[in-house]
Homo-oligomer: A and B are copies of this chain.
């Protein structure tokens, strides 16, 4: 067993909060100026577990406590951009990063140097279907992907590529599956439609416009993983409430769910499913409305977890016509 010491383990955090209309992501500036996920080294000497290490430097840097934290994936491919290797002074080091997803109800701006909140759809414009199909898909993505499929050498490969495209983007009769965020990003990376591709390979072919803001290293891939996971998770665990204030209206809850899954929900059916689930409790109190009838304030019933088989919230799609 070769003792090849040049291994650095880093922790990357995808920290998510939701303001009324937008899922917010905490980003810090990277050396090259592009936004980056908060990153901290894992120090085996002082950190007993990864999660403890993570919570420690997040609370030190951004001055707030994380609530819900979950490990996402460990990324270790060679060829990932590794600006951290330079930072650490050992140019040869291989950096492995363990991605974490963290949720918080607190979206107030962090202190100077603690990063800033950014709408996550700035990095993934094609993932926001709340106002119908995003224009980029028809205008840019679909045609470019189709060209790429046509370029394939054999008819078999052409078909395989077309299938991948149809499944990932819900084209040609397939329905859009909001959870395939990572599949879509990987397809776009592979086809050079996203600037990271040419940056990493030093290629010349520039990516088209409208493909979202670039992030440092492979952080956009990590973010894609996080979005995929969160979109799946809200449906089978009541994690949305980790991002809600103590009291909230049902419309607010609906807007938060919509912000996460990226499509509009059917109001009545959402509410019906919600009260079947038993996750919310009406407090008699009302919210002084923002232009309409006042809404009742609700709270999360933690006890509901103990009753049913802990599921999440239903996401009844609103018919987009």
Q: Using a CB–CB distance below 8 Å, which chain A residues touch chain B?
A: 1-9, 41-45, 48-50, 71, 73-74, 76-79, 87-90, 94, 96, 98, 163, 166-167, 174-175, 177, 305-306, 309-310
Known: A4-B45, A48-B79, A49-B76. 14 other contacts (CB 8 A): A3-B88, A3-B89, A4-B44, A5-B6, A6-B44, A7-B7, A42-B76, A49-B78, A50-B76, A74-B74, A167-B305, A167-B306, A167-B310, A174-B306
Q: Which residues of B contact A9 (CB under 8 A)?
A: 7, 9, 76, 96
Q: How far is the CA of A48 from the CA of B75 in the complex (A)?
A: 11
Q: A49, B74: Cβ atoms under 8 Å?
A: no
Q: A309, B166: Cβ atoms under 8 Å?
A: no
Q: A2, B71: Cβ atoms under 8 Å?
A: no
The A interface, classified by DSSP as helix, strand, loop or mixed, is loop
Q: How far is the CA of A227 from the CA of B44 in the complex (A)?
A: 28
Q: Which residues of B contact A44 (CB under 8 A)?
A: 4, 6-7, 76, 78, 94
Contact partner of A309 (CB less than 8 A), chosen from B89, B175, B306, is B175
Q: Which residues of B contact A1 (CB under 8 A)?
A: 41, 87-88
Q: A2, B43: Cβ atoms under 8 Å?
A: yes
Given contacts A41-B2, A44-B7, contact A306 B163 (CB under 8 A): yes
Q: Which residues of B contact A74 (CB under 8 A)?
A: 50, 71, 74, 98
Q: How far is the CA of A76 from the CA of B163 in the complex (A)?
A: 39
The smallest C-beta distance from A11 to any residue of chain B, in angstroms, reads 10
The smallest C-beta distance from A200 to any residue of chain B, in angstroms, reads 14
Give the number of copies in the complex.
Answer: 2
Listed from nearest, the 3 A-B pairs whose CB atoms lie closest are A44-B94, A5-B5, A74-B74
The smallest C-beta distance from A170 to any residue of chain B, in angstroms, reads 9
Residue of B nearest to A303 (CB): B163
Q: How far is the CA of A73 from the CA of B45 in the complex (A)?
A: 21
Q: How far is the CA of A48 from the CA of B78 in the complex (A)?
A: 5
Q: B96, A77: Cβ atoms under 8 Å?
A: no
Q: Which residues of B contact A3 (CB under 8 A)?
A: 8, 88-90
The smallest C-beta distance from A305 to any residue of chain B, in angstroms, reads 8
Residue of B nearest to A95 (CB): B44
The smallest C-beta distance from A175 to any residue of chain B, in angstroms, reads 6
The smallest C-beta distance from A96 to any residue of chain B, in angstroms, reads 7
Q: How far is the CA of A67 from the CA of B79 in the complex (A)?
A: 24
Q: A4, B167: Cβ atoms under 8 Å?
A: no
Q: Which residues of B contact A48 (CB under 8 A)?
A: 77-79
